[in-house]
Amino acid sequence: MNSAADVWSKVLQLLSKDLTATALSTWFDDCRAIDIGDNVLVLYTPSAFKKDVIEGRFLGTVKSALREIFSGDFDVRILCENELETYSLQPPPGTAAAEEEYTFERFVVGNSNKFAHAAAMAVANGERTFNPLFIYGDSGLGKTHLLHAIRHAVQKKFPSYNIVYVKGDDFTNELIMALQVGKNVEFREKYRSADLFLMDDIQFIAGKIQTQEEFFHTFNTLYEANRQIVFTSDRPPNEITRLEDRLKTRFESGLLADIQPPDYETRVAIIRNKASQLGLVLPDDVCHYIAENMTSNVRQLEGAVKKIRAYRDLMNDSITVSSVAKAIKDMFKEKTEFIPSADLIIDETAKFYNLTSEDLIGQRRTRNTALARQIAMYLIRKLTNLSLTDIGDIFGGRDHSTVINGIRRIEDHLMKSEQFAQTVKDITANINARH
């Protein structure tokens, strides 16, 4: 039986509770489901007018019904008339064609992600020491990119491998459908026969008792057979609430690799890399402008570059800081009165110079440490409301005159050296990125 049709039948049952029989018949009598996948339900109605009405009046209701069925968000796409033929010619969402850009060659490596990248490369090369590999970090930082990069690399190196990729919520949805239509054996065979098993956003199986039970046995089968397993999540295993302890311990038995927001240098590299892929040549000042104003994630940076290209093509405008500011102004994070803590400033400054916060606060007197300490003092004074005395207390009880001298030295360096000014600017950008 067509699974899309099954889902649509259940949606209509739920809609009947909220809509009159007349409304249901008028707008949905010739509407049918033709596809489901990647959290998208595709519907077809022959009338363009009905399509417009359904999208305008009933789309929210349909999505609510899907949310009730799957305990997660679904998108709905509605086709009409000749759109059905066009749709059939397109690769479905989530195929290799749609994800071909997710390769190791196109992944920009920086301090924030180099450990996760190295681990992913090792797995792709056949290293089984890191099993399972658990990559975690906030949304938009490159976890999915690494997952697909592993898949592409393994496909190329081991063409006979059975590679299975699934999102956490799709695993649950497939299990539900398998139970409903009596295809439990087929479901288990699909996942337990994998040579390489990749699950994106595994946090979505938390709290789902039957899903976790099924996944537990799938994991054990694969692990005992020495099959490689890779997960991604928005947080480490011990922070995933409602995830069974037996799963947490198994995840933690492998290698945990985190990805942090990209630092300033990595953001600039990402912008240039994406621009190159799109055939754009961005001036240095434009790259720096974007990197300074967009600090949250990689996806946002890539979106900015795409929008700049579209703006150039549509408006026939040259690429300058001024034109870019117009093109992407709606993408900037709303300005807030963000006041970083002194600890945050010290941490980012120390990190920039490969030092520890204790090095800056303590009594180390090496030239590198002293300079980093003075920069931290300068930035605390500039970015916070702390007094000179307060700053001195933070740095081990130093006298306020020491703080003044340190700040003045930094101000002097800033006036004399553009390179040094850029360094302080980069550290400031990294601090703001933590907001």
Phi, psi dihedral angles at 17 (to 5 degrees): -80, -25
> Mean pLDDT over all residues of the chain?
84
Of 203, 210, 215, the C-alpha closest to 242 is: 203
25 confidence band (pLDDT: 50, 70, 90): confident
Phi, psi dihedral angles at 45 (to 5 degrees): -135, 135
Among 29-38, 90-99, 163-172, 315-324, where is mean pLDDT lowest? 90-99
**What are the contacts of 116-119 at 24+ separation with CB within 8 A?**
116/142, 116/143, 116/146, 116/257, 116/258, 116/259, 117/146, 119/255, 119/257
pLDDT of residue 90: 43
- Residue 212: Cβ within 10 Å count: 17
- Residue 111: Cβ within 10 Å count: 15
For residues 31 and 45, the answer to whether their CB atoms sit within 8 Å is yes
Hey, what are 148's tokens? 């697909």
Q: Tell me the mean pLDDT in the region 304-319.
A: 80
353: which DSSP letter?
Answer: T
Q: What is the pLDDT of residues 69-101, one digit of tens each?
A: 876 678 898 887 667 555 543 444 444 444 567
112 confidence band (pLDDT: 50, 70, 90): confident
pLDDT of residue 73: 73
User: To 10 degrees, what angle do helices 298-315 and 264-277 make?
Assistant: 40
pLDDT of residue 53: 85
Hey, what are 363's tokens? 């009594």
For residues 142 and 298, the answer to whether their CB atoms sit within 8 Å is yes
pLDDT above 80 (res 344)? yes
- Residue 7: Cβ within 10 Å count: 22
pLDDT of residue 99: 52
pLDDT of residue 93: 43
Omega before residue 46 within 30° of 0, cis: no
User: Going from the N-terminus, what domains does the chain have, and what CATH number goes with each?
Assistant: 3-89 (3.30.300.180), 104-258 (3.40.50.300), 264-331 (1.10.8.60), 342-433 (1.10.1750.10)
413: which DSSP letter?
Answer: H
Q: Tell me the mean pLDDT in the region 169-189.
A: 84
What pTM, to 2 d.p., does this model score? 0.57
Rounded CA Rg of the chain = 26
Q: Tell me the mean pLDDT in the region 314-333.
A: 76
pLDDT above 90 (res 227)? yes
pLDDT of residue 87: 56
By residue count, the chain amounts to 435
* Unique residue bearing structure tokens 């033709």: 34
Q: CB neighbours of 401 closer than 8 A, spacing ≥ 6?
A: none
**What are the contacts of 150-153 at 24+ separation with CB within 8 A?**
150/120, 150/123, 150/124, 150/196, 150/198, 150/230, 151/196, 151/198, 152/96, 152/100, 152/102, 152/103, 152/104, 153/103, 153/104, 153/121, 153/124, 153/125
Q: CB neighbours of 255 closer than 8 A, spacing ≥ 6?
A: 119, 129, 130, 131, 132, 133, 134
Phi, psi dihedral angles at 56 (to 5 degrees): -80, -35
Taking the mean position of all CA atoms in its chain, how far away is CA 10?
32
User: Higher model confidence: residue 241 or residue 252?
Assistant: 252
Dist CA 290 CA 429 (whole Å):
11
pLDDT of residue 330: 67
Hey, what are 22's tokens? 């007349």
Dist CA 396 CA 186 (whole Å):
65
Dist CA 131 CA 349 (whole Å):
35
| DSSP string over 252-303 | HTSEEEE-PPP-HHHHHHHHHHHHHHTT----HHHHHHHHHH--S-HHHHHH
Q: What is the pLDDT of residues 123-161, one digit of tens each?
A: 999 888 899 999 998 878 889 899 999 999 998 888 889
Give percent of the chain above pLDDT 90.
25
Q: Tell me the mean pLDDT in the region 156-184.
A: 86
Hey, what are 28's tokens? 């949905």
CA angle 159, 161, 163 (to 5 degrees): 110
pLDDT above 50 (res 376)? yes
Dist CA 126 CA 147 (whole Å):
14
